[in-house]
Amino acid sequence: MARSVWKGPFVDSYVLKKAEASRESGRNEVIKIWSRRSTILPQFVGLTFGVYNGKKHIPVNVTEDMIGQKFGEYSPTRTYYGHAADKKAKRK
Amino acid sequence: MTDPNDDTDDTMICVGAIAGAFGVRGEVRLKSFTADPLDIADYAPLTSENGEMSFDVQVVGPIKNGLSVRLSGIETREQAEALRGVRLCVPRTRLPALPDDEFYHADLIGLEVRDTGGTLLGTVKSVPNHGAGDLLEIAPPGTSETVLLPFTRAAVPTVDLAAGRIVADPPEGLL
């Protein structure tokens, strides 16, 4: 069953506090979080979170199109390397 | 390291592997490693790792766990079955040129990563993308643990393929 709208999106309170502190400090830092279940909110856009995957913190640069998703979706818990072949990476 | 402007670069890049025969008419089951599996035909002729065999590729269609393809010179199931396990490669020079700030994973993997002060951070092990942008997985020297660095202009100001070097300015708390 979907979450009731009146409750608003779920976010662990410590994530909100850390994000706020990082934004106020204006430093370029990775905000380490363990809360994979927290929803990505609009005020997180532009920040970089280190989302724990059970072993290490995966850097996640939050962009607008990620709003409403959970942090855990961007921090997979299993690795598969595959082949490089003709795959490309774009520096943003 | 691989310099994209170097036409004499003979680095071979593995783009697929033959998984066995498919059907009785000499088609093979091919595992394609390219970003779009069907693109493998665009890089033909493909050569084996040792360079002894070379094939033109005609994709018949997608099948379970790969593609059904017809290779030049392979007419029977027995010939196709004999190719099981052969890895197919193309020279790096055959990959098309890319715009600025776009790089092939094959070019980035193995590059040395140094911080802005010149300290060695490690070498690039892989270039994963988990949906939040490309990352550089860096293997520091002397440890099996790896570090992930966002592949952004802020965190990676310089990528010098010719010199085989990346300059990184990692955000606080990453290393």
- Per residue in B81-120, pLDDT (tens digit) is 999 999 999 998 888 888 888 999 999 999 999 998 888 9
In a domain? residue A84: no
pLDDT more than 90, % of chain B = 59
Report if residue A43 sits inside a domain: yes
Q: Give the domain extent around A28.
A: 10-74
Local confidence band at B9 (pLDDT 50, 70, 90 cut-offs) = low
Q: Is the predicted pLDDT of residue B7 greater than 70, yes or no?
A: no
Contact between chains at B132 and A86 (C-beta distance less than 8 A): no
Residue B5 DSSP one-character state: T
* Secondary structure of residue B2 in the 3-state scheme: coil
Mean pLDDT computed over every residue of chain B: 89
Contact between residue B30 and residue A82 where contact means Cβ atoms under 8 Å apart: no
Interatomic CA distance for residues B72 and B66, integer angstroms = 19
pLDDT of residue B87: 94
Give the number of domains in chain A. Answer: 1
pLDDT at B51: 86
Residue-level pLDDT at B3: 55
Tell the CATH superfamily of the B105-168 domain.
PRC-barrel domain (2.30.30.240)
**Gap from A88 CA to chain B (nearest CA, Å):** 4
**Residue labelled with tokens 């962009």:** A63
CATH code for residues B12-94: 2.40.30.60
User: CATH 2.30.30.240 residue ranges in chain B?
Assistant: 105-168
DSSP secondary structure of B117-144: T--EEEEEEE--B-SSSBEEEEE-TT-S
Q: What is the pTM of this model?
A: 0.85
| Predicted local confidence at residue B5, as pLDDT | 52
Cβ contacts of B129 on chain A, cutoff 8 Å: 89
For chain A, list residues whose CB is within 8 angstroms of any CB belonging to chain B: 27-32, 48, 50, 56, 58-63, 66, 73-76, 79, 81-92
For an interface test with B, the pick among A25, A91, A92 (most B C-beta atoms closer than 10 Å) comes out as: A91
Please write the tens of the pLDDT for every residue from A24-81: 998 888 999 999 999 999 999 999 999 999 999 999 999 999 999 999 999 999 988 8
Chain B residues interacting with chain A (CB cutoff of 8 angstroms): 13-16, 33-35, 39, 43, 95, 98, 101-106, 108-109, 126-135, 145, 148-154, 156, 159, 171-174
Residues of chain B with CATH 2.40.30.60: 12-94
Q: What pLDDT was estimated at residue B71? A: 93
pLDDT tens digits for B112-161? Answer: 999 988 889 999 999 999 998 899 999 999 888 899 999 999 899 989 98
Instruction: Please determine, for residue B2, whether its predicted confidence score (pLDDT) is greater than 80.
Output: no
Tell me the ipTM for this assembly.
0.87
Contacts with B33 from chain A: Cβ below 8 Å: 82-85
| pLDDT for residue B28 | 94
CATH of the domain at A42: 3.30.860.10
CB pairs under 8 A between A and B: 117
Q: Which chain B residues contact residue A32 at CB under 8 A?
A: 173
> Does residue A58 lie in a domain region?
yes
CB contact under 8 A, B171 and A29: yes
How many angstroms separate the CA of residue B77 from the nearest CA in chain A? 27
Residues of chain B neighbouring A49 (CB-CB closer than 8 A) = none
pLDDT of residue B16: 93
Please name every residue paired with B18 in a beta bridge, in sequence order, or none if there are none: B30
Residue A91 pLDDT more than 90? no
Residue B24 has a CB neighbour count (10 Å cut-off) of 10
